[in-house]
Amino acid sequence: MLAAGPAFAKKMYRWVDDNGNVYFSDQVPPDQVQHKRETLNEKARVTNVVEKAKTAEQIAQQKRLDELRKEQEKIIAKQAANDKVLLSTFRNIEDLQKAIANKTAALDAARKVIEGNIDLLESQLRQQQQQAANLERSGSKLPDKLLNDIAASKQQIEFAKQDLQRHQLERQNSEKEFKADIARFQFLTQTQRTGKTDKSSLAASNASNELGLFVCEDAVQCEKAWKIAGEFVASNSTTDQDVASEKLIMRAAPQTDTDLSLSASLLENNNVRQIFLDIRCRQSSLGAELCASAKAQAIREAFAPYIQSQLAAQQ
Q: Where are the domains of the chain?
A: 6-50, 90-194, 199-314
pLDDT at res. 45: 82
Cα separations in angstroms, 303 against 12, 88, 186, 192: 52, 30, 21, 26
Of 282, 290, 286, which is closest to residue 256 (Cα–Cα)?
282
pLDDT at res. 88: 86
Cβ proximity of 297 and 279 under 8 Å: no
Dist CA 93 CA 79 (whole Å): 19
The answer to whether the Cα torsion of 33, 39, 40, 42 is positive or negative is positive
pLDDT at res. 258: 94
pLDDT at res. 144: 93
pLDDT at res. 206: 44
pLDDT at res. 1: 43
Cβ neighbors of 132 (< 8 A, separation 6 or more) are 142, 146, 147, 150
User: What is the chain's pLDDT, residue by residue, as a tens digit (315 residues)?
Assistant: 444 444 445 678 888 887 778 888 888 887 777 778 888 887 778 778 777 666 777 677 677 767 776 776 676 677 677 778 888 888 888 998 998 899 999 999 999 999 999 999 999 999 999 999 999 999 889 999 999 999 999 999 999 999 999 999 998 888 888 887 887 787 667 645 544 444 444 434 444 445 678 888 888 999 999 999 999 999 999 999 887 878 888 888 899 999 999 988 887 766 778 888 888 899 898 998 898 888 998 898 899 889 989 999 987
* 3-state SS class at 250: strand
* 3-state SS class at 268: strand
Please give the CATH topology (third level) of the domain spanning 199-314.
TATA-Binding Protein (3.30.310)
Cα separations in angstroms, 287 against 30, 54, 67, 261: 45, 32, 20, 11
